[in-house]
């Protein structure tokens, strides 16, 4: 191999890289929290909610899960202004990630809810719990515990997919890498550095989610 690596630019572009990392982290934190909240709500509707609302949520889930994230992002950023809905690129990126993760996590959480044996609902009722108490303590928390690994994976996938937001000039980590290589033409180095940062971010995120799982679901038993 005759390629000569040159990383002397890192000092100059460190602020750009750090800003990119900050925005990627912000996007995934907001996206994961609100996206999973939205997904859980949708899962409740699809599994147990009012009958008239189920097809509405079903349509949302199928629409989002069967179209590319990039198109959803362009629709929100370039399309909605025609209807008078103007958003900054960061708001559009956040919204797209919430809506996207909402649809995927809906199906994951719903799987957990529907895996709850019918008898557990009846057991909750027979203990004198209200339907809300039953849903929370008997259905939702054990469901989340069951599907936590799958949900964690989906969150990491969405974090990596956030690279697409650079296309609407949101200045995330991918934007930083593109920006740097368009200035100094060290494409190999710029993408190498961003690859390493994404890898570290993804590993950290997985560890955080694993830790969060251990805190949120302390009664976790061995899988049966």
Partner 1 sequence: MKRRQFIALAAAGGLALLAAGPACADALADIESAKTIRIAVPQDFPPFGSVGADMKPAGYDVDMANLIGEKLGVKVELVPVTSANRIPYLQTNKVDLVISSLGKNPDREKVIDFSDAYAPFFNGVFGPDDITAEKPEDLAGKTIGVTRGAVEDLELTKIAPPSAEIKRYEDNNGTISAFLSGQVELVATGNVVAAAILAKNPPKKPNVKFLIKNSPCYIGLNKNEPVLLEKVNTIIAEAKKSGELNAIARKWLGADLPAEF
Show contacts with partner 1 in window 151-190 (CB under 8 A).
Answer: 166-169, 175, 178-179, 182-183
Binding mask 87-116 for partner 1 (x = CB under 8 A): --x---------------------------
The answer to whether 82 contacts partner 1 (rule: CB under 8 A) is yes
Region of 82-90, 120-128, 130-138, 198-206 interacting with partner 1 (CB under 8 A):
82-90
Nearer to partner 1, 135 or 175 (CB): 175
Query: Are 109 and 38 spatial neighbours (Cβ–Cβ below 8 Å)?
Result: no
The nearest distance, CB 152 to partner 1, in angstroms, is: 31
The answer to whether 147 contacts partner 1 (rule: CB under 8 A) is no
| Residue of 80, 102, 79 lying closest to 32 (CA atoms) | 102
The nearest distance, CB 17 to partner 1, in angstroms, is: 15
Number of residues that bind partner 1 (CB under 8 A): 17
Neighbouring residues of 150: CB distance < 8 A, sequence distance ≥ 6:
108, 111
The nearest distance, CB 71 to partner 1, in angstroms, is: 13
Region of 31-39, 53-61, 78-86, 118-126 interacting with partner 1 (CB under 8 A):
78-86
> Contact residues for partner 1 (CB under 8 A)?
74, 77-79, 81-82, 86, 89, 166-169, 175, 178-179, 182-183
């Amino acid at each position: 191999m005759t390629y000569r690596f040159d990383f002397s630019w890192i000092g100059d572009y460190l602020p750009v890289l750090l800003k990119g990392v900050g925005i990627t982290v912000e996007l995934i934190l907001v996206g994961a929290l609100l996206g999973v909240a939205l997904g859980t709500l949708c899962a409740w509707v699809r599994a147990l909610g009012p009958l008239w609302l189920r097809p509405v949520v079903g349509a949302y889930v199928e629409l989002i899960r069967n179209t590319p994230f990039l198109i959803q992002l362009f629709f929100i950023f370039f399309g909605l202004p025609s209807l008078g809905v103007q958003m900054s690129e960061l708001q559009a990126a956040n919204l797209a990630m919430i809506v996207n993760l909402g649809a995927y996590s809906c199906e994951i959480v719903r799987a957990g809810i529907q895996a709850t044996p019918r008898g557990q609902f009846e057991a909750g009722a027979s203990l004198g719990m209200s339907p809300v108490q039953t849903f929370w303590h008997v259905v939702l928390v054990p469901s989340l515990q069951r599907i936590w690994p799958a949900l964690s994976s989906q969150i990491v996938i969405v974090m990596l997919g956030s690279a697409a937001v650079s296309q609407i000039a949101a200045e995330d980590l991918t934007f930083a890498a593109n920006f740097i290589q368009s200035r100094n033409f060290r494409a190999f180095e710029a993408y190498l550095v961003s690859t390493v940062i994404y890898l570290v971010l993804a590993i950290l995120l997985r560890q955080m989610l694993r830790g969060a799982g251990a805190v949120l679901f302390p009664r976790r038993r061995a899988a049966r």
